Structure 1
């Protein structure tokens, strides 16, 4: 396997650009494709070939005809899902067997579809660009009723699952500073989904790197036997409530943190550049930290593994376990609660190559690069990256944002390359339908 260069920027149709990458050359994919039926990014129309896919495991396949247009402006959600299936088939080819895909995707509503010309007055301030997709493009289709939530994220997730991806987690990205909505018949949407998908049942995932602070500390006096009686039903360590200690119940030393939960509260970040829908850098960093290692094998790219030392207190007389533990006399007097303290003591090679000195770096791919948030996060964490986007303007924006162009460089030790490829499907194929 050939490890890619430091930071590679490719301008072109995503299906054509992905074909330039070798098989299993990428460790982790963090991306957010254009959402269906929401925005017109002013991208040139590209050719999408006919595709057949299953909307869910066990269901009959759907055949989507060839089409020419902009991803996200398809006339039906089925066609949009089919085009993403095409993209992630190629992504699966370039992803290592132990790699992960972090897919950030939002939903939209079915509108009545009034038809007619788009209201040119609804444009983004200061840019003159159309802010939202044509209402006629989001009309009545696929038996959806007006005002129905389309359910695009789960349609995509189930289709990818049927393609062979392992759907490992649905993460809810909560936006504490979400924008208000002028609706009075439903809650304001304040979240999007992040799907963690894997190519294999066993894959690289660094749980220690993305731990979050624990809620309470093991030594809390409220849980000692001499503590006053109180209602503890709403407390995280509810030893006198429904969460009774049991055999195998382990308590982490909370100074070391806890395993990351599936709800992430991350504020959106304002971005002054000519690109909307930029997800926060902090979100990309969590995905990259979990899906990659700081070092990799220079020959085969295997990520190095974290070496974690865990300290156990099985007899219940350390870390305060004696005071709060309950003993099960039927199991040789072992306490129900076992305290575990963990700490990182180093890193070790993830393969047996004799020359694996960890001199290579993991590669992060974003096939819908946009403003370059994933690339910027990869640079900050010492990972290599591949950026793909159809629009040259966005690539130039990403290069400037990452410090490769403009007044100064953010990281002097990083190299980069920019290439623009003509779309292989530039000539419209028979049967393709062009957007108006």
Structure 2
């Protein structure tokens, strides 16, 4: 493939279904060095405002199946010595929207399912079960051929949900490091955080995106597994955090995003006059 067929993808967000976009990139011979992404979590935990968004599957098993197939395409885009950083959080089997729990000022469990927005647990799960869907996804990817190299705990500075009486609050997410091959590009450029399995990173989100990751998170991933000539890819670009981090570190980047409403946020963060709006 010619150079022009690859450069047309660079430093742009391509809006539409990332699976269609990735197939077109594969046909053009595009290769990326690292993938850094945070897909929508299962169960509609965060609403991205699009009827075709991932995360609305009927149960965790279906969610895992869809994402394993999606990231199989991403693996075809990855260089043989490339890496894949996956940020994903765990969720509970039943949605807490609308109240519930064992507090006296909330509705009893016998009536909570009638409250607006409440999600009953899928088959095989009980009302208060933690699904472990993050680990189900990691294991599904490992079984599909990825090398699962490490689980990093991203420790947030404060709980991200109201305090509960019957369990500790959630104040962390998981960052899984995968590689395409047994031998892959990763190095320790003298960063102290590379020697720790737990990363404590504060949020720098302005609230414009419901699930924006802090910029330091992708920066660490990019620094550890790429060089200046490499391409960084995010199939779920959202507000553009990974692209902005890649640009800051003088790397080329490619993004995919389903929802075009994030284009102004991306343009503002990247300080560009415009971004690609057509599905390739």
Taking structure 2 as the reference length, the TM-score comes to 0.86
Superposed CA offset, 1:53-83 (max 9, x none)? xxxxxxxxxxxxxxxxx31111111111111
Larger Rg: 1
Q: CA deviation at 1:419?
A: 3.3
More helix per residue: 1 or 2? 2
Closer, same or farther: CA 265–40 of 1 in aligned 2, 3 Å: same
Residue 17 of structure 1: CA displacement? 1.2
What residue is the counterpart of 1:159 in the other structure? Answer: 140
Bigger relative CO (Cα 8 Å, ≥ 6 apart): 2
- Note the alpha carbon deviations across 1:151-183, whole angstroms, 9 max, x for none: 011000000000000000000000013335231
- Contact 2:75/2:180, CA 8 A, preserved across alignment: yes
* 1-structure distance, mates of 2:149, 2:91: 24
1:35 matched to 2:41? The reply is: yes
SS in 2 for 1:99: strand
Match of 2:248 in 1: 380
Give the SS at the match of 2:237: coil
Query: For residues 289-308 of structure 1, what are the structure 2 equivalents within 5 Å?
Result: 289-294=223-228
* Per-residue deviation, 1:262: 1.0
Q: Where does residue 264 of structure 1 map in the other structure?
A: 199
Deviations 1:380-405 (A, max 9, x none): 00000001100111123211211013
RMSD: 2.0
Give, in angstroms, the shift of residue 24 of structure 1: 5.6
For residues 113 and 62 of structure 2, the distance between their equivalents in structure 1, rounded to whole angstroms, comes to 20
Alignment equivalent of 1:170, drawn from 135, 151, 176: 151
1:72-112: CA deviations, max 9, x gaps?
Answer: 11111111111101110100000111100000000110127
**Does residue 418 in structure 1 map to residue 267 in structure 2?**
no
Aligned length: 258
Unaligned runs of 5+ in 1: 46-69, 120-133, 214-258, 295-360, 406-415, 423-436
State the match for 1:303 in structure 2: none
**Paired residue for 2:100?**
none
Q: Which runs of 5+ in 2 are unaligned?
A: 97-111
After TM superposition, list the pairs within 5 Å mapping 1:25-424 onto structure 2. 25-37=31-43, 38-45=45-52, 70-111=53-94, 119=116, 134-136=117-119, 139-208=120-189, 211-212=191-192, 259-273=194-208, 275-294=209-228, 361-405=229-273, 417-421=275-279
Could you tell me which of 8, 13, 16 is aligned with 1:9? 13
